[in-house]
Amino acid sequence: MQTVEELVESCTTIIWTASALHTAVNFGQYPYGGLILNRPTLSRRLLPEQGTAEYEEMVKSHQKAYLRTITPKLETLIDLTTIEILSKHASDEVYLGERALQAFHRFGNKLSEIEEKLTQKNKDGRLSNRIGPVELPYTLLHPTSNEGLTFRGVPNSISI
């Protein structure tokens, strides 16, 4: 790095990667992937070809054929345990804005305003894409969270 601008760009990239990007990729895994039928991690069989016994089984009972194809029980338990661990918030997480002085207090207040706006948008029935068919509001990028599987919160990468 040769300039202040390069330092700022590098720091910005690190902060983004360790906070909001990590949240968007990581903490949303369990609410969807926690049901292995939504996101099987293994396929034990290829798609059956027409005219085979496996194809006839699929035509007769696609659900039974699907269950015979996806991740077996032991691997499912390992996968779900891993997804749960990766999706949990730790008790010692420090959130963006918590270690700040005056400027960061303003930043934290702004984040609270944004969270309130997101909450209001999630409640607005005219905004049909705010929730899915299971009526689970999108809260991954809310700036606060409690410990555990909360499906929300953008933590700082620093632990105390």
pLDDT recorded at residue 100: 63
pLDDT recorded at residue 128: 64
Q: What are the boundaries of each domain within the chain?
A: 4-36+71-149
DSSP for 82-99 reads: HHHHHHPBPTTEEETTTT
Cβ neighbors of 98 (< 8 A, separation 6 or more) are 108, 156
Spans of the chain below 50 pLDDT? 157-160
Give me the amino acid identity at 58.
M
Would you state the structure tokens that stand for residue 88, as one six-digit string?
Answer: 């949990």
Q: Residue 30: enclosing H or E segment and its boundaries?
A: helix 29-33
pLDDT recorded at residue 97: 60
| Bridge partner list, 108 | none
- Give backbone dihedrals phi and psi of 41, rounded to 5 degrees, phi first: -95, 0
pTM: 0.52
pLDDT recorded at residue 125: 75
Cβ neighbors of 49 (< 8 A, separation 6 or more) are 55
pLDDT recorded at residue 50: 94
